[in-house]
Amino acid sequence: MKENINLSNLPKHIAVIMDGNGRWAKKQGAMRIFGHHHGIKSVKDTVEGCVELGVKYLTLYTFSTENWNRPKLEVEGIMQLLIKTIGEEVPDLNKNNVRLKAIGDIESLPKSARKKLLDSIELTKTNTGLTLTLALSYSGKWEIVEVTKKIAQQVKSGALAIENITEEVFSSFLATGEAPDVDLMIRTGGDHRISNYLLWQLAYAELYFMDDLYWPEFRRQHLFEAIYEYQQRERRFGKTSEQLPSVKV
Ligand code: FPP
C-alpha cells in the first residue's frame, strides 16, 4: 500500500479519534484499561508511519473533556499510562525528530501528568519533523470558547478592532497554533461522528471511518490505506470539478 501513496500529495495534518479500546478489551474478556495499554502500540506505529512518509502534523484525541466523567479507576489508569508513556517515549521522539505538543485544558490534568507532559514538550521542542499533538482534556467547543475569550480581551484592551476579526485572526488564536486545518480525520471503532473534536479545524477535512477496527488493532498499514483513499477523493472546497487544477494522481 505504501508504494501506491503519492508523496507529493500527502495530507499535511492528520487527526485521529482513537476509539474502541474498551470494546476491544471486553472482547478479550479483560478490563477496559487493558485496551488503553494496547492502544499505545497503535500510537507508536501511527507516529512511525507518519515519520516514514513525511507527514507534518498528527493530532491524537487522547482524552476528551467528557472523558472526565468515566469511572474514577479508568480515568486514573489512563493518567498513569500517559505519564509512563510520555516519559518513556522522549528518546524515540527525539530520534525520529518528532516535536511533542499538547492542546486542551492542561491545567486540569493531575500535577504529575502535567509535569511529565511539559517536560517532554520542552525536551522535544527543537525537533523539526513531525509535530505530534496530544489533545488532552480537550473539546472543540471548549477551544472555541477560549479563542472567543482571548479575542474579547483584545477588543476590550483596544489591541484589536471588531471589524478586523477575520477567519485568519480567529485561527491564529486556536490551540493548534501554526498547524494548518486538518486534511484527513481517521476514526476507528465504528462510530460515524466528530465527538467535539477540532470543530473549527475539521471544516473541510476528509473523514475516514473504520467500521471493523478497534484502536488497539490499528497499525501503520491502516494509516497508509487511509492516506491512499484520501488521495483518491476530489477535494473541491465548494468549487466545481471543472474549476479544479487537472493534476490528478
Ligand atoms: C477511546 O476508546 C480511547 C480513549 C478515551 C483513550 C485513548 C488513550 C490512549 C490510547 C492512550 C494514549 C496515550 C498516549 C501517550 C497518546 P474507548 O475507551 O472510548 O473505547 P470504547 O468506545 O470501546 O469504550
| pLDDT 10s digits, 69-88 | 999 999 999 999 999 999 99
Q: Are 49 and 223 in contact (CB under 8 A)?
A: yes
Handedness of CA 50, 134, 222, 183 (dihedral sign): negative
- Cross-strand partners of 60: 16, 134
Q: Grid coordinates standing for 232?
A: 483518491
Scanning the structure block, which residue is given the C-alpha cell 485561527?
Answer: 171
Phi and psi angles of residue 185, each rounded to the nearest 5 degrees, phi first: -115, 125
Instruction: Identify the pLDDT of residue 249.
Output: 45
Is 24 marked within a binding site? yes
Residue with the smallest CA separation from ligand 1 atom 24 is 22
Closest CA to 233 of 74, 1, 2, 6: 6
User: What's the DSSP call for residue 103?
Assistant: E
Instruction: Identify the pLDDT of residue 93.
Output: 98
- For residue 214, give the ligand 1 atom closest to its CA: 23
Tell me the C-alpha distance between 58 and 100, whole Å: 10
Tell me the C-alpha distance between 75 and 81, whole Å: 10
CA of 51 from ligand 1 middle (Å) equals: 22
Residue 76 neighbours by CB under 8 Å, 6+ apart: none
Is 133 marked within a binding site? no
pTM for the structure as a whole: 0.95
Four-CA torsion 6, 102, 151, 148, nearest 10 degrees: 90
Is 42 marked within a binding site? no
Instruction: Identify the pLDDT of residue 112.
Output: 93
Helix (H) or strand (E) holding 236: none
Q: Which amino acid is at 197?
A: Y
All residue ranges of the chain with pLDDT < 70 are: 246-249
43-76: b or e for each residue (b if 16 or more CB lie within 10 Å)? bebbbbbbbebebbbbbbbbbbbebeebeeeeee
Q: Grid coordinates standing for 101?
A: 505538543
Instruction: Identify the pLDDT of residue 235.
Output: 82
CA of 111 from ligand 1 middle (Å) equals: 21
Mutate to test the pocket of ligand 1, among 16, 17, 19, 132 (most ligand atoms within 8 A of CB): 19
Tell me the C-alpha distance between 180 and 195, whole Å: 20
- For residue 25, give the ligand 1 atom closest to its CA: 23
Length of the chain: 249
Q: Which CATH fold topology does 8-233 show?
A: Undecaprenyl pyrophosphate synthetase (3.40.1180)
